[in-house]
Structure 1
């Protein structure tokens, strides 16, 4: 394994990272493509690191937990719409996530928010294409950029995002040919979620990769079947609880092996003292 870059994180702790902002910016010239998945728990983060994944996305409030599972992966903290409302709140939330161990933040807010964060030298990732929480503007959950006017508008949004100071952009469900044409025309690090292979980072949700749910987006591919395992866990749980209740009802639990014992001499002494005590009262 090649030696990892050494940095100081936002809490002034010396750290190693699989990838840095500088590495991501150089990816296009080097031909390197990175992988990114989601994590909300230490176990998910640890599994990603062990698998060779380089990057994680997590909710800002989960950064500290995720860092317990992985000290090395590049972590982007998602700033929720409801977690912070005012510009001061947003900046405070971003800085808290960074000092908890995040390397960047992602926001789907407007350009003013991106500029405010970038002005503090915070690595900011924008979000373009299908932004699910804003899907009411296009009427449904669908690819954005499937006609010429939308594709051109999308390109202008890339330009505005770059001018606002973002260093990267999550590109969600953009037609692959449109993405392939926009990528060489932007200086942003591109993160493809359902937008084809022409990107610096390829991103999928961990639950989709692992088959944790029966329904998954069209752009996702399942490499595991956690849903089947979870169903087996559910069935085993019900089976075990039912058997426990049946044993209790049949007076078969607890038995001698689940109960503490006292030897005969000590028990006889106890009974003697108990009876004496009864007369005393």
Structure 2
């Protein structure tokens, strides 16, 4: 809870940083780099498991990956997504959150505001910190027919403000604001008592930012969001290393006595 309180009380200070990790070595690297928060996101479904979106990810998937990340994290605040259909009711939300904490998470993240205020409040009351998530909700991609940017209309802005109010009331320690028009994200930040964390919502619109690690390092070249510029080309390095190694092996001069007669 101390880490959660430190995050909650950081609003207005140095911008917060959050990166995703799905395995032990990545977690160790990010923890050593000094990132404030490590998120085991359900984006693992697309970046590592080959699913078309996050709606195929299960609680078992998340527990498996958060366990690996927890073994590599000692300093950063470790958050894990509750996947789709694991927090439909208050009772289910509590059971799911406890499962992820048992696996190694220090906090859980849920998508939604007004619709899940009771679930957030119950998890917080159970002693488990919650990171909220409003704006574009990836778990709604099938329901909404795609990834729809939010905050375009007065009604959408009103709904966003209602969601921000709800997660503040429920006791979340911070809130991700995803895929929202910059002016709407700024409004949400100004309205919120807790820190807001932007992803795809413009630069300097929130109290911090989160990025998917594979987007940041160029590890998933098949899809790169337009709102982030990769800082590396890890996919290219892996391919280059594999090609160089294969060329070395294929150039071996085998002993004559091992050749087929």
Indicate the residue corresponding to 1:192 in structure 2.
Answer: 198
For residues 88 and 185 of structure 2, the distance between their equivalents in structure 1, rounded to whole angstroms, comes to 31
Normalised to the residue count of structure 1, the TM-score between the two structures is: 0.73
CA shift for structure 1 position 32: 1.6
Indicate the residue corresponding to 1:151 in structure 2.
Answer: 157
Measured against aligned partners, the alpha-carbon deviations of 1:218-276 in whole angstroms (never above 9, x if no partner) come to 111211110111211342454466567x949x7547xxxxxxxxxxxxxxxxxxxxxxx
Structure number with larger C-alpha Rg: 1
How many residue pairs get matched? 234
CA shift for structure 1 position 41: 0.9
Q: 1:226 aligns with which of 225, 229, 234?
A: 234
Indicate the residue corresponding to 2:139 in structure 1.
Answer: 133
Measured against aligned partners, the alpha-carbon deviations of 1:149-185 in whole angstroms (never above 9, x if no partner) come to 2122211121122233323221111111211122121
Does the Cα contact within 8 Å between 2:189 and 2:207 map onto a contact in 1?
A: no
Closer, same or farther: CA 160–228 of 1 in aligned 2, 3 Å: same
Indicate the residue corresponding to 1:26 in structure 2.
Answer: 9
CA shift for structure 1 position 82: 5.3
The alignment yields a C-alpha RMSD, in angstroms, of 2.8
SS of 2:80's partner is strand
Indicate the residue corresponding to 2:101 in structure 1.
Answer: 98
Does 2:84 correspond to 1:81? yes
Does 2:214 correspond to 1:207? yes
Does the Cα contact within 8 Å between 1:24 and 1:200 map onto a contact in 2?
A: no
1:1-281 counterparts in 2 under 5 A? 20-29=3-12, 31-58=13-40, 60-61=62-63, 62-81=65-84, 87-108=90-111, 110-111=115-116, 112-196=118-202, 197-214=204-221, 215-236=223-244, 238-239=246-247, 242=250, 247=254, 252=258
For residues 89 and 245 of structure 2, the distance between their equivalents in structure 1, rounded to whole angstroms, comes to 45
Runs (5+) with no aligned partner, structure 2: 42-61
For residues 187 and 67 of structure 1, the distance between their equivalents in structure 2, rounded to whole angstroms, comes to 29
For residues 168 and 219 of structure 2, the distance between their equivalents in structure 1, rounded to whole angstroms, comes to 35
Does the Cα contact within 8 Å between 2:132 and 2:174 map onto a contact in 1?
A: yes
Normalised to the residue count of structure 2, the TM-score between the two structures is: 0.78
CA shift for structure 1 position 88: 4.1
Does the Cα contact within 8 Å between 1:210 and 1:222 map onto a contact in 2?
A: yes
Higher relative contact order (CA 8 A, sep 6+): 2
Does the Cα contact within 8 Å between 2:89 and 2:119 map onto a contact in 1?
A: no
CA shift for structure 1 position 130: 1.1
For residues 90 and 241 of structure 2, the distance between their equivalents in structure 1, rounded to whole angstroms, comes to 44
For residues 31 and 142 of structure 2, the distance between their equivalents in structure 1, rounded to whole angstroms, comes to 36
For residues 35 and 82 of structure 1, the distance between their equivalents in structure 2, rounded to whole angstroms, comes to 28
Does the Cα contact within 8 Å between 2:84 and 2:139 map onto a contact in 1?
A: no
SS of 2:10's partner is helix
